[in-house]
Every structure is written in C-alpha cells, then in structure tokens.
Amino acid sequence: MDLNLVRAPQLVDVVPDGWYNILPDLPEPLPPMVKPSGEPVKPEELEVLFPKALIKQEFAEERFIPIPEELRQLYIEMGRPTPLLRAYRLEKHLNTPARIYFKYEGVLPTGSHKVNTALAQAYFNMLEGVKRLTTETGAGQWGSALSLAGSLFRLSVRVYMVRASYEQKPYRRVLMQLYGAEVVPSPSTLTKSGRAVLDREPNHPGSLGIAISEAIEDAVTTPGTRYSLGSVLNHVLLHQTIIGLEALKQLELVGEELPDYVIGCVGGGSNFAGISYPFYHHSIVRGGKRDAKFIAVEPRAVPSMTRGEYTYDYGDTAGLTPLIKMYTVGHRYTPPPIHAGGLRYHGVAPTLALLVRNGAVKPVAYHQTEVFEAARMFAQIEGIVPAPETAHAVKAVIDLALEAKKSGERIVVLFNMSGHGLLDLAGYREYLEGKLMDYEPAEIDLSYIRK
C-alpha cells in the first residue's frame, strides 16, 4: 500500500491564497435579504453589525477573493492545511469498491472547522478598529473558535451561550473562558430580548435564535462593538471554502480523480459549503465531473431542507435580523434536545437553500440513534471520534458505500469531518447506555410566517 495515499502531503502551498465565492456561479441570482417592509437591505445598513470588509465579501461578485498574506500565515500557524485522509480501513470493513476520502478539520485548535471563519472575521474587525465582538453559541464550538480568534487579535469577546448547554456542557464554556472570553447564559437579563423571554418563562432553557437576538442587540447598542456569526451568511461560507480548495489540490497531489460525491452535515451550511462549493465550481463552471453529486445531511429532528419551506424568514427568534430566503422550519421552532447542538438551527444558508431548490444539492435526513451507530463504527475502525454533527455525514457516507457495494460502482466519495467529538462524550455515553431518543416534528406550522 502506498502510504502517500493514506496521508496526502501536508505542504503549506496547498493552503490557497484566495477564497471561492459562489455568488456569480449560482444557477439564478440570490434573492436579496429584505426588511419586513419587503425592501432589500442595503450593504451600508449592515455597518452597525459588521466591518466594511466583511460586508463587501457578503455581496461580492468576484469568483476569487484574496486571503491577506498575514491571515494566510495565521491559518498555517493554526494547523492548515488540514489532512486529507483516506478511510481505507472503513472501505475494507464495508467491503465496498468506493474510495472514501475525508478532510479532517478536527485538528484545528478548538476541534472544528469554525476556526476558519473566526480567524478571518476577527482579523477584518481588528483592521477596522473594532475592539469588542459579541456572538452566540449553542454547544460552544463556534463560541470557542471566536474566543480563540479574539485572543489572537486582542479583541474582547462576549458569548451568549444557550442556557441549557451552559449548564449541561461546561467544558466548552471553560474553553471559552480559558481563551479570555466572557460567557453569559442566554436568555440573560443583560438585553431587552433576553428579559422579554425571561418575563414570559423564567426557566427558559434558551435557543440559538434567542442567543442571536441578544448578541445582536448588545452589538448595536455598545460602542466599538460588532457582531459575529458562525454560519449562514455568504461571507462565513466564503471563508470555509478553504477546506474544499485544499482538498482539490490534495486529491490532485495523490493523483485521484474528482469526487463523484461530496458530502457534509448541515446546521447553517458553512462546513458543507466549505467542502462542496469549490467542487461545484469545477463540475458546473469548469467542465469537471458534470454528474458529481452533492449531499447535505441534516437531523430529522430539525428537518429544514427535507421538510421545511423555501421562504423568507428571520434568522433569529426575536426577528431582529433581516429576512432571508431559505429553507426553514420557522424561527419560532424549538429544536428538540439532540446532541448535535450545531445542527439545531431552524434555517440554512441562502446559497445552499437556492442550490437545494434547483436540485444541485440533494438533502437527506437521519435520526440521531442511527447517526451515533455510524459514528461508533467509524471510531472503532478509523480511530477518530466524530462530533455528533459530523456523524450525520459519516452515516450518509456509510449508506452510500454500501449501495456502491451492491452496484459494484467504483465511486470516489469525499466528505468533511467537520470536527471531533472528544468534548461530546456525554452524548456518546447516553448512546452506549441505550438512552438516546429520536425526535421528529409531527407537523411544521409556518402559518405565522406567511402572515
């Protein structure tokens, strides 16, 4: 066996000097963000939330956006390029003719891909003189990535953390505090939106939507402060394309074909976009494998792409964000307490929604028990414990590999290992003890949105 194929070369020139912007390559123009009046949001109206450089990226029309050299160097210092690994042992175990590759983002300091956009966002905020960032976090993966970035660029960071996670998952809270961030359980009494929720329900466990409302309110009412989001927005997905751009070069370095399938899990869509959009560019624009398939995996407990509606909805619970056209289960949907905290978001990124709408991306959904089962197999055979979010992608890969075994097709599969699960062992414990529950909404009521 050629070991170079197991571990593709970790050459730093694999790290790209530009991000890929999918906006000019979409099958139709992206519906604009709008205000409740229906008027499109103007870029300058976002300046209370984000620095100008990030707003420019949000609306950019160029295919490639340069990565400043200082930032590119920091990416390398923080562990990029991440390894492209081949899951030989899993292939053998499944006895499949499929060749399975994965990009391992879990080697980054906080254990997930979120570092890629956290560093970029903190960098551009720092350049424009911002002193403080606010954000929200569910399980804590995004909050810890931004806390690290804040520490590197000397920005203070306040993280509104969903109260249920704050209490039940103390380790990522400790990680954020270790990096110097202030962590506030949400809903909190520090904001109007938080107080409004607590007045109605003093023991509210919190949700990502509420925490977003609090972080935005804090940013727009505090001087020198901007808001930072870990997924959904165009500029966030843009930063993540570094994953797929590296993977393209790494596959080429080992002499492998372009993949037939590119797979990722979807919360807001950033890691899926990161791995898949550069390959979409190849297949659609550059005449690569035209029949390449892109599979987006979500939980059946929060089935925005598979059961939601493609419509304008708010990004947060209080309705402070602009309206975004996306697949949504509704901004008032309370996600069931599944362990994949990063997948408990009611909507998805607008570019991903458009690609699903056009049939370019195929969504699938799984229950958490079958997902943890797949993760256990992967851990026992490949060694890496996937994050519960990532495990959704692993499940889809295993299903596909088993289909290839039946059909005998020698497909090439690439998936994104968005993070490791070593801080998610409480979820694995529940799984091993047979206590995991599967959830699925009986019906999804979106009538309040249509009004």
Ligand X SMILES: *Cc1c(COP(=O)(O)O)cnc(C)c1O
Stretch of 6-14, 50-58, 178-186, 259-267 lying at the interface with ligand X (CB under 6 A): 259-267
Q: Shortest gap between Cβ of 364 and ligand X (angstroms)?
A: 14
- 276 touches ligand X by CB under 6 A: no
Select from 419, 424, 427, 436 the one that contacts ligand X (CB under 6 A): 419
Query: Which residue blocks in 154-269 are alpha helix, DSSP H?
Result: 163-168, 170-178, 192-200, 208-221, 234-240, 242-253
Q: Shortest gap between Cβ of 169 and ligand X (angstroms)?
A: 13
Residues 225-244 that bind ligand X (CB under 6 A): 231
Direct distance between the N- and C-terminal alpha carbons of the chain, in angstroms, rounded to an integer: 61
Q: Shortest gap between Cβ of 215 and ligand X (angstroms)?
A: 16
Decide if 422 contacts 404 (C-beta within 8 A).
no
Q: Shortest gap between Cβ of 317 and ligand X (angstroms)?
A: 18
Q: H or E stretch including 313?
A: strand 309-314
Select from 390, 391, 404, 412 the one that contacts ligand X (CB under 6 A): 390
Select from 98, 216, 243, 266 the one that contacts ligand X (CB under 6 A): 266
- 58 touches ligand X by CB under 6 A: no
Alpha-carbon radius of gyration of the chain: 20
Select from 137, 250, 270, 351 the one that contacts ligand X (CB under 6 A): 270
Select from 150, 389, 391, 424 the one that contacts ligand X (CB under 6 A): 389
Integer angstrom CA distances of residue 149 from 124, 174, 240, 314 = 11, 16, 15, 27
Residues 112-141 that bind ligand X (CB under 6 A): 112, 114, 141
Site string for ligand X, 193-232 (x = CB under 6 A): --------------------------------------x-
Residues 6+ apart with CB under 8 A from 164: 205, 206, 337
Decide whether 142 or 333 has the Cβ nearer to ligand X.
142
- How many residues lie near ligand X (CB under 6 A)? 20
- 267 touches ligand X by CB under 6 A: yes
Q: 377-393: string of b/e by CB count within 10 Å (b at 16+)?
A: bbbebbebbbbbbbbbb
Stretch of 157-165, 247-255, 261-269, 326-334 lying at the interface with ligand X (CB under 6 A): 261-269
Look up residue 297 and give its DSSP letter. Answer: E
Residues 139-168 that bind ligand X (CB under 6 A): 141-142
Query: Which residue blocks in 7-96 are alpha helix, DSSP H?
Result: 52-58, 69-77, 88-94
Q: Shortest gap between Cβ of 244 and ligand X (angstroms)?
A: 13
Decide whether 193 or 418 has the Cβ nearer to ligand X.
418
Residues 6+ apart with CB under 8 A from 425: none
Select from 125, 271, 283, 321 the one that contacts ligand X (CB under 6 A): 271
Q: Shortest gap between Cβ of 299 and ligand X (angstroms)?
A: 11
Decide whether 259 or 342 has the Cβ nearer to ligand X.
342
Stretch of 7-15, 175-183, 299-307, 385-393 lying at the interface with ligand X (CB under 6 A): 385-393
- 268 touches ligand X by CB under 6 A: yes
- What is residue 294's three-state secondary structure? strand
Stretch of 147-155, 166-174, 196-204, 262-270 lying at the interface with ligand X (CB under 6 A): 262-270
Q: Shortest gap between Cβ of 285 and ligand X (angstroms)?
A: 23
DSSP 133-146: EEEEESSSHHHHHH
Look up residue 109 and give its DSSP letter. Answer: T
User: Which residue has its beta carbon closest to ligand X?
Assistant: 419
- 368 touches ligand X by CB under 6 A: no
Nearest residue to 183 (alpha-carbon basis) of 174, 191, 192: 174
Residues 6+ apart with CB under 8 A from 172: 137, 139, 140, 141, 143, 144, 165, 423
**Measured distance CA(201)–CA(187) in Å, rounded:** 10
Residue at token pair 């070991």: 3
Q: Shortest gap between Cβ of 386 and ligand X (angstroms)?
A: 8
CA angle 192, 193, 195 (to 5 degrees): 65
Decide whether 101 or 272 has the Cβ nearer to ligand X.
272
Name the residues that contact ligand X, by CB under 6 A. 112, 114, 141-142, 231, 265-272, 342-343, 387, 389-390, 418-419
